Structure 1
Amino acid sequence: RVENRLAGMDCNPYLGIAASLACGYLGMVNEIRPTKQFKGDAYEGDEDIPRVMGEALDLFETSEELHEILGPEFARVYSIVKRTEYEEFLQVISPWEREHLLLNV
């Protein structure tokens, strides 16, 4: 049984499962012992989990083993597309920013 609740609503479920299974496979290949089951808020645990898309992409882009499993060309194109989406997202001024920041300048 695999349960991974870290993925956000914007995660493609097929890619999320593929990445989880790939990481499990890499754990077996590299003989990494699983840790105990974690309960609670994963962001408050010992592991440093990315909180924004840019940080997650930085980690993904340096994971050569994961690129080999998913396919180097897929990983390259996926990184480009997601980085472009993220940079475009950062250019948008949200309603909250307009209300709380723009009016208080």
Structure 2
Amino acid sequence: MSRTHEPRSCRNSPHSFENPNGLSDLLEIFLLLVIPFSMPRTFGRMVGSLRQGYAIVAAMGVTAGTPRTEKPLFTGLLVGTLLIVTGLTFFPALALGPLAEGLSS
């Protein structure tokens, strides 16, 4: 069943006043991109070299999003990330176990 009787803004928005027209769509896209592109510039100012921040922005533009998920590189990065997060979650508890036993006796 088609919902063509509803206005365009109600079809994909949780609220009917979220994006009433195309201009507000463009404003929303611009504002969503302001923070990610301002962070590398902030990094450049923190380290005292804006060129480093601009280099990060250039790398962001070249990579243009996420890596391809069917490549082995993605699988390696995913498995590596999971191993690191798991290790950081459980190994501190294993290392503190004997210390806690020594304190309790």
- Shared fold, TM over 0.5: no
TM-score (normalised: structure 1): 0.28
Instruction: Report the structure, 1 or 2, having the larger helix content.
Output: 2
Q: Which has the larger Rg?
A: 2
TM-score by length of 2: 0.28
Q: Kindly indicate whether structure 1 or structure 2 has the higher relative contact order, using CA contacts under 8 Å at least 6 residues apart.
A: 1
